[in-house]
Amino acid sequence: MDPRRTARTVSDPKVRQVGFFTPAPPERSVSDPPRFQDPIQPPSPSPTQVNDHSPSGNSLSPVMIPPAHHHSDNFLRTALQATSPTKAFSYSAKTVTIPPENEDVASSFSPGRKVVSAKSPSSFPGVKASSVPASELTTVSVVNLPPGISEKAGGASVEVQNDRPVSAKTLKEKTSKAERRALQEAQRAAKAAAKAEGTKASSAASKVVTSANTKPSKAAKSSSQKNDGSQVAASEKKGGDRAPEKDRKKDAPHPRMQYDDKSRVEKAKKRAVVKQTEARNRVELFRHLPQYEHGTQLPDLETKFFELDPMHPAVYKVGLQYLSGDIRGGNARCIAMFQAFKEAIKDYSTPPEKTLIRDLTARISSYVSFLIECRPLSISMGNAIKFLKNRIAKLPLALSESEAKSTLMLDIDRFINEKIILSEKVIVKHAVTKIRDGDVLLTYGASSVVEMILLHAHELGKHFHVVVVDSRPKLEGQLLLRRLVRKGLSCTYTHVNAVSCIMQDVTRVFLGASSVLSNGTVYSRVGTACVAMVAHAFHVPVLVCCEAYKFHERVQLDSICFNELGNPDAISKVQGRKEINYLDGLVNQENLQLLNLIYDATPSDYVSMIITDYGMIPPTSVPVIVREYRRDHLWS
């Protein structure tokens, strides 16, 4: 409702299409390369590599946009669009004349060029670059390399393993996440190659990596087979040599671990307490997120209850409650976690020859990693943990153990009281001023703050009508509805499918949020964005109620990079409706992918106001709050 940035571009529709593709026939990518027309284009070693590795990759279809142009087209285009040095270089490869203005590029590549001129002008110069001495290759000014050339150079010099990571990179070029991942992949591959082939190759490979990075718009050349093959190859490669290094900094799995990175997942699994089994058919675009078979691990964990030595029982219990979904909602999860940590701190005693600060931090980290295994952390929990760890780190060394423990427990209580309970009250106080007699308020899902607002406004004697919008599969709105109706509010209940019909009667939309990011993006239960957008289209103000401790300085543009996947069975099966069993027996089909997202990101343009404990602010002011909040409270 706040279109002050009216000229926003919702993300490129192409990107959105990427996740839901029709599987391309595997032959296509293989059969493509032979159609080269350009003399610059090498006879391309890639087809053979592809064929080599297609069995190792699984047969899942590619995410990539099917190549509209074949390689030669792409290459020509990129070469022509490239900056003048690169253009000159690609020409120089053909013509063997070096334009004077590109001295550096040309001279650095001169060995390659010589080789080219000596052998065949039609073959690609980079291919021959492998024969170039390493010392000369390292002087190449990487940025100027056109992607195609650099890729080939890498491919030739580092041989099979290196070429594929680079081409894998092209795969999800549209999403920055994928890019970063590809970069990591390629760097790792480069290291592996360095081990295998010595310094010469590695330098070339790292060049490849960097140059690939500088040209994210590289043509989509590779096929899925290449991609998967490369991942497998890469993970196989570094499985051996990187393990000890990784174990040194043994810590919690990174909250934003990329779950399509097989080696890391393997690592994490070794340490994991919770044995999650991975679901099989995962939607391509969301492979970086963990997706587990649900319901398998709970009995297993319950039996282990008495065996787990390092885990405090309170933490264990909370973890299980997260896992089973007994505790949900940002505030409830956060409070439960802190109560468990409080218990754990109460029972904590510093082991001999260790300091409390270090050991307790490590202990908390291990608890956190256990909780992450049960269910990915919410952003609010991340902030809370940051707060706690910061408090531990700031403990005066002179404090005795009991004093330190009681200080920490007081801090935890203070956090819960001030940042959660009190700020909810403040938000309610602010929000009721925006409810007038005769309003029709719409809310989506079940937010504890919104519920408090509605009940409080009702207590104040305001006359208003509530529309509770709900969605499958969680149907949390029914819980809210039940409590509202019991208190005597007049309510309408509908599902999100009908939101466009009901919206014309609505005067205010109140939404809860899991987090608010610093560009004003509201990260909340999936479906919130839809409701907010419909409200915006109907010129209904959207009020987002969120405590300031849930604010985060990250910026997120879509709901793909960071999200949580729920149980796909929840959407494929309708409970209690045996006659709707259309998907029975189809769930494990190769060509069926079920996507049950938990969160989505609402762009700030659709948000009129954010109600927080600092008052009512426009979404553009979130960074100010984040800054002030950090300075005043979190880091104090």
**Both ends of the chain: CA-CA distance in Å?**
36
Beta carbon nearer to other proteins, 59 or 504: 504
**Which one of 490, 497, 575, 636 is in contact with other proteins (CB under 8 A)?**
490
**Which one of 196, 432, 595, 616 is in contact with other proteins (CB under 8 A)?**
616
Beta carbon nearer to other proteins, 204 or 534: 534
Cα separation, 454 vs 433, in Å, equals 12
CA distance readout (Å), 299 to 274, 304, 375: 11, 9, 16
The minimum distance between CB 243 and other proteins, in angstroms, equals: 49
Q: What sign results for the dihedral spanned by CA atoms 545, 550, 556, 559?
A: negative
Region near other proteins per CB under 8 A, out of 27-35, 409-417, 468-476, 501-509: 501-509
Tell me which amino acid residue 537 is: A
Cα separation, 524 vs 512, in Å, equals 7
| 166 close to 186: Cβ distance less than 8 angstroms | yes
Q: Please list every residue from 174 through 233 that binds other proteins, using CB under 8 A.
A: none
Q: Please list every residue from 10 through 69 that binds other proteins, using CB under 8 A.
A: none
The minimum distance between CB 628 and other proteins, in angstroms, equals: 6
**Which one of 171, 511, 609, 626 is in contact with other proteins (CB under 8 A)?**
609
Strand partners, 470: 495
| 291 close to 568: Cβ distance less than 8 angstroms | yes
The contact pattern for other proteins, residues 540-569, with x = CB under 8 A and - = no contact, is -x-x--------------------------
Region near other proteins per CB under 8 A, out of 86-94, 177-185, 584-592, 614-622: 614-622
Neighbours of 20 (CB within 10 A): 12
Region near other proteins per CB under 8 A, out of 213-221, 339-347, 382-390, 622-630: 622-630
Ranges of H-type helices in 347-394:
356-374, 379-393
- Reading the block at residue 16, the tokens are 């959105």
The contact pattern for other proteins, residues 258-297, with x = CB under 8 A and - = no contact, is ----------------------------------------
DSSP code, position 590: T
The minimum distance between CB 588 and other proteins, in angstroms, equals: 43
**Which one of 286, 523, 562, 614 is in contact with other proteins (CB under 8 A)?**
614
Beta carbon nearer to other proteins, 52 or 553: 553
CA distance readout (Å), 451 to 112, 475, 542: 70, 15, 16
Phi, psi of 48 (to 5 degrees): -65, -40
Using CB under 8 A as the binding rule, whether residue 434 contacts other proteins is answered as yes
The minimum distance between CB 488 and other proteins, in angstroms, equals: 14
- In sequence order, the 6+-apart residues with CB closer than 8 A to the CB of 230 are 53, 161, 164, 165, 167, 168, 185, 189
Beta carbon nearer to other proteins, 82 or 535: 535
DSSP code, position 77: H
The minimum distance between CB 625 and other proteins, in angstroms, equals: 7
Phi, psi of 542 (to 5 degrees): -110, 120
**Which one of 95, 277, 349, 504 is in contact with other proteins (CB under 8 A)?**
504
- Reading the block at residue 151, the tokens are 């890729």
| 86 close to 79: Cβ distance less than 8 angstroms | yes
Beta carbon nearer to other proteins, 273 or 435: 435
Beta carbon nearer to other proteins, 407 or 519: 519
The minimum distance between CB 622 and other proteins, in angstroms, equals: 10
| 127 close to 150: Cβ distance less than 8 angstroms | no
Q: Please list every residue from 309 through 368 that binds other proteins, using CB under 8 A.
A: none
Cα separation, 490 vs 501, in Å, equals 19
Cα separation, 621 vs 71, in Å, equals 47
Region near other proteins per CB under 8 A, out of 193-201, 329-337, 392-400, 498-506: 498-506
Beta carbon nearer to other proteins, 350 or 620: 620
Q: Which residue has the tokens 């709707």?
A: 580
Neighbours of 497 (CB within 10 A): 11
- Reading the block at residue 492, the tokens are 């309408």
Cα separation, 173 vs 555, in Å, equals 19
Using CB under 8 A as the binding rule, whether residue 142 contacts other proteins is answered as no
**Which one of 136, 621, 630, 633 is in contact with other proteins (CB under 8 A)?**
621
| 528 close to 511: Cβ distance less than 8 angstroms | yes
The minimum distance between CB 510 and other proteins, in angstroms, equals: 12
**Which one of 24, 557, 617, 634 is in contact with other proteins (CB under 8 A)?**
617
Neighbours of 468 (CB within 10 A): 27
The minimum distance between CB 445 and other proteins, in angstroms, equals: 22
The minimum distance between CB 424 and other proteins, in angstroms, equals: 18
* Closest residue by Cα to residue 612 from 544, 526, 533, 558: 544
The contact pattern for other proteins, residues 506-545, with x = CB under 8 A and - = no contact, is --x--------------------------------x-x--
Cα separation, 599 vs 523, in Å, equals 7
Beta carbon nearer to other proteins, 336 or 609: 609
Beta carbon nearer to other proteins, 81 or 433: 433
- In sequence order, the 6+-apart residues with CB closer than 8 A to the CB of 505 are 440, 467
**Which one of 389, 465, 554, 573 is in contact with other proteins (CB under 8 A)?**
465
**Which one of 209, 279, 625, 626 is in contact with other proteins (CB under 8 A)?**
625
Using CB under 8 A as the binding rule, whether residue 628 contacts other proteins is answered as yes
Cα separation, 566 vs 329, in Å, equals 14
**Burial code of 237-264, b = ≥16 C-beta within 10 A, e = fewer?**
bbeeebeeeeeeeeebbeeebbbbbbbb
Neighbours of 614 (CB within 10 A): 18
The contact pattern for other proteins, residues 150-169, with x = CB under 8 A and - = no contact, is --------------------
C-alpha torsion angle, residues 441, 444, 446, 449 (rounded to 10): -50
Beta carbon nearer to other proteins, 274 or 622: 622
Beta carbon nearer to other proteins, 183 or 616: 616
Beta carbon nearer to other proteins, 47 or 541: 541
* Size, binding site for other proteins by CB under 8 A: 30
**Which one of 131, 438, 478, 591 is in contact with other proteins (CB under 8 A)?**
438
The minimum distance between CB 110 and other proteins, in angstroms, equals: 53
Residues at the site binding other proteins, with contacts judged by CB under 8 A: 1-4, 6, 434, 436-438, 440, 465, 490, 502, 504-505, 508, 541, 543, 608-609, 614-618, 620-621, 624-625, 628
